[in-house]
Copies of this chain bind each other. A is one copy, B any other.
């Protein structure tokens, strides 16, 4: 399917990112949505073992939301053994492993291990089973590790693309450095304590003028409460300018009336 037009620029292709291996996938649409989920998390190498309806299938490209490059480069293999022959580590996703003696990792643990393998320039692969049945025992014997997602044990049903998405997301997260909490500061910046104090001074003066703070005994506590309120969040410099305006205008109204 090379030469097919269109598709999104899905970014740089990591040479040592894990290969996603779909074993006996049934619906071509699911191969397409898998490619989309892979692109989301920065996985680019796709192999298909004995796809039921043959390959290529137009429907896969339609379902991929533009992840064409992954589908264009996908390879087809007759057996799982053939699909994993050049890989150093192979992990198999498997919701309910039974009668198997093998290391089992969470998606997060597996992602971290796959990153470590990539750093050592080892080639790795992730096996995903057919839509209904999942991987059989022979398939799992081709893997060195099993992956089991922690999810609601009373409702584990995931479709193929969703199973791939969780691994792709964890692969991305395993070396993502986004701070867990940040502040949008394109147009402004968080106010300094001095800027905040400057506003609180303005507010206190006006409240003194209008008599709001006339109870001398309560005055320090009231000012402290206002200070606590404005200290609580990340007030921005822009918001402080607005607040200065609000106080000024409210005072002006009162002054013009009096």
Contact = CB atoms under 8 A, between A and B. Distances in A.
Contacts of A215: none
A116 interface: no
Given A108-B180, A181-B103, A154 B11 contact: yes
A180 B109 contact: yes
Contacts of A99: 186-187
Interface stretch (A73-81, A222-230, A232-240): A232-240
A10 B181 contact: no
Contact of A105 (B162, B165, B182, B185): B182
A178 B106 contact: yes
A138 interface: no
Interface stretch (A24-32, A35-43, A126-134): A35-43
Interface stretch (A144-152, A197-205, A246-254): A144-152
B154 A9 contact: yes
A187 B98 CA distance: 9
A156 interface: yes
Interface of A: 8-11, 36-37, 39-42, 65-67, 97-106, 108-109, 112, 146, 148-158, 161-162, 165-166, 169, 172-173, 176, 178-188, 234, 236, 238-239
